[in-house]
Structure 1
Amino acid sequence: PFEVLRRIIEFMLILSFAWGLIKTLDVVQDLIQRYYQLESGDNLRARKLFTQLQFVKRVAVGLIGFLAVGLVLMSFATVRRLGTGLLTSAGIASVIVGFAAQRSISNLLAGFQLAFTQPIRLDDVLVVEGEWGRVEEITFTYVVLNIWDERRLVLPLNYFIEKPFQNWTRSSARLMGTAFLYADYNVPVEALRTELHRLLETNPLWDQRVCALQVTDSKERTVELRCLMSAANASALFDLRCFVREHMVAFMQANYPESLPRTRALLQDEETGKNTLVGIK
């Protein structure tokens, strides 16, 4: 009875110590998260730290759990003898296991590479497979993207090592964006340029870095106008582009309706032979 009680107490001490170490890691993570806020505007340093912290914590928890279970099992003589027998065939077994788990091992190595070289970080804005989203979670084997419409895109870690993707927050969250307008050749470009500047000055989403309107193309019926602007982050830029597009179209409708795209036709009177130029909206 005393031997059984001793074993139970020994197991409980080992497991309690392991549990205490894991909870200590949770406390350290919480303290760091309180000091560094991901919700702040300039969170590049926090995203770097949290990406490494998340991966290192998971490795540490895995090692603690493995060692705790190992210590418990090795306290049994039968398990120790079995372990000695396994060591004699460890060479062959390691080759077989390594071949069978090569995908898992490559993902684990990719995880280390992502954690410390950091082509992506937590809360990064990515465009992957034509989808726009934020990095929500990085595990040992996969990355979860929170897509803008609240879907989740799950990708293996190797994807970010082997394939190209867009990272909109690699060094800064600031971005430039465009809104295109198509108008008739008689459009007053300078008046539209002045209106664009006025609109951006009244909108708090504009970060006051870039404001430009240029004729970027001319087609057989219309000219292409590009409104170029900048914002502090991708979400603000999307809303700002929609705002500019809506108000510039309304400005043209109210003040220069004759500059909206139209099709011109040349009509000839059969009796007089006189030509008449007409515009069809």
Structure 2
Amino acid sequence: MPEGLHLSPWSATALAALLAVAVAAMAHRIAAVVLRRATAPVPVVRAVVIACIPVMRVLLPLIALQLVWQAASDDLRYIGSVRHLNGLLVIGGACWLLIAAIGGLANGVIAQHPADVEDNLTARRIATQAHVLSRTAMTGVVMAGVALMLMTFPGARQVGASLLASAGVVGIVAGIAARPVFSNMIAGLQIALAQPLRIDDVLIIEGEWGRVEEITGTYVVLRIWDERRLIIPLQWFIEHPFQNWTRTSSEILGTVFLFADYRLPLDPLRAELQRVLEAAPEWDRRVGILQLTDVTERTLQMRVLVSARSSGLAFDLRCRVREALVTFIQREHPDCLPQVRLHGQGSPLVPAGAASPAPGVG
């Protein structure tokens, strides 16, 4: 070989590194095509593969480079630092791969149970478990990855050992600081397993009505009806009572209260209620009744009980029924609106809330 073609040790190593990266890239492309086709009949596995393919595009070259650096001569300048840096990148890439696989698995499981159906209780339960458990697992992977990276530094082992062995003020402060993090993680596992709430559940918390929009590893996002967001730590749900309107089913009953004079006939009002319900798309045809629930010295109290498939539909149905029945009373029986009767023969009837006639007025 001519003398000009001789390569320095670093040049030969760099050439080998370029060749290794090219081979890794080619292997990645072939493996991606094969795995996509092979996992097509299994949607969950396919979701994991699709999530991991972008990560492997980076991780495979890093592994190939690490093999080249390990095979290189120890006499090369800075080879130790290059090996260490590449090793850290491989650890980070491996953690990234695990996180992507966990996320792909969760998304694949959720995709198998769509929530855009009328009875989506099972889908919401599975989605909640998948979200919470996957994020808890991702947190564990990140912590393990950081620990492995730190252990590659000689001083980190000594620091870690001294911290574990210490039982003084540092240990107390660290325990107090870490308590909210671990308590929320444990609360997340409890919520995922016991499921007192799920994604898209309707909750009443601190007097606020809203739907569960997101469950993270540390908090729950409640989307309030007026588009505000209420952020609640996971631990709060373990320690405080709250209302869940969709715990076992999204079906719910709604009430409408009406007040009228004693002279109002109830049968026409019941017939009007039935007519309104038959024309209402929100009504699920389970419950639709009008009852006289109370009488006072001035008015009758009537309760209308209606049913709907969800709390949102129940609210709309209540508004529709309330407006229709009030309009019916105003149109057909205006004299049966709440009245105030004055003592004395021939005294007029005054609508409730109106000012009484002045003394001496006949």
Give, as a single letter, the amino acid of the residue that structure 2 aligns with 1:76: F
Task: Provide closer, same or farther for how the CA distance between residues 196 and 38 of structure 1 changes in structure 2, counting only shifts above 3 A.
Answer: same
* 1:280 equivalent in alignment to 2:356: no
Match of 2:215 in 1: 138
Q: State the TM-score, normalized to the length of structure 1.
A: 0.90
Alpha-carbon distance between aligned partners in 1 of 2:141 and 2:112, rounded to the nearest angstrom:
26
* 1:170 equivalent in alignment to 2:268: no
Alpha-carbon distance between aligned partners in 1 of 2:183 and 2:147, rounded to the nearest angstrom:
25
Partner SS state of residue 71, structure 1: helix
| Unmatched tracts of structure 2, length 5 or more | 1-77, 352-362
Match of 1:245 in 2: 322
Of 82-91 and 46-55, deviating more is 82-91
Alpha-carbon distance between aligned partners in 2 of 1:84 and 1:98, rounded to the nearest angstrom:
16
- Structure with larger Rg: 2
- RMSD between aligned residues: 2.0
Alpha-carbon distance between aligned partners in 1 of 2:130 and 2:218, rounded to the nearest angstrom:
16
Give, as a single letter, the amino acid of the residue that structure 2 aligns with 1:279: L
Alpha-carbon distance between aligned partners in 1 of 2:258 and 2:103, rounded to the nearest angstrom:
53
Q: CA deviation at 1:95?
A: 5.1
Match of 2:341 in 1: 264
Contact 2:163–2:171 at 8 Å: present in 1 too? no
> Going by fraction, where is helix more abundant, 1 or 2?
2
Greater length-normalized contact order (CA 8 Å, ≥ 6 residues apart): 1
Alpha-carbon distance between aligned partners in 2 of 1:38 and 1:262, rounded to the nearest angstrom:
50
Of 35-44 and 239-248, deviating more is 35-44
Of 51-60 and 230-239, deviating more is 51-60
Q: Percent identity?
A: 45
* 1:203 equivalent in alignment to 2:273: no
Alpha-carbon distance between aligned partners in 1 of 2:326 and 2:121, rounded to the nearest angstrom:
37
Q: CA deviation at 1:93?
A: 5.7
> Going by fraction, where is strand more abundant, 1 or 2?
1
Task: Provide closer, same or farther for how the CA distance between residues 90 and 9 of structure 1 changes in structure 2, counting only shifts above 3 A.
Answer: farther
Alpha-carbon distance between aligned partners in 1 of 2:282 and 2:335, rounded to the nearest angstrom:
31
* 1:107 equivalent in alignment to 2:184: yes
Match of 2:234 in 1: 157
Q: CA deviation at 1:135?
A: 1.1
Contact 1:127–1:133 at 8 Å: present in 2 too? yes
Cα offsets for 1:66-88 (capped at 9, x unmatched): 22222222122222333344443
Alpha-carbon distance between aligned partners in 2 of 1:100 and 1:13, rounded to the nearest angstrom:
31
| Unmatched tracts of structure 1, length 5 or more | 268-274
Count how many residue pairs are aligned between Structure 1 and Structure 2. 274
Partner SS state of residue 269, structure 2: helix
Partner SS state of residue 348, structure 2: strand
Alpha-carbon distance between aligned partners in 2 of 1:90 and 1:54, rounded to the nearest angstrom:
36
Cα offsets for 1:147-204 (capped at 9, x unmatched): 1001111222232222221110000000011111111101010110111011101111
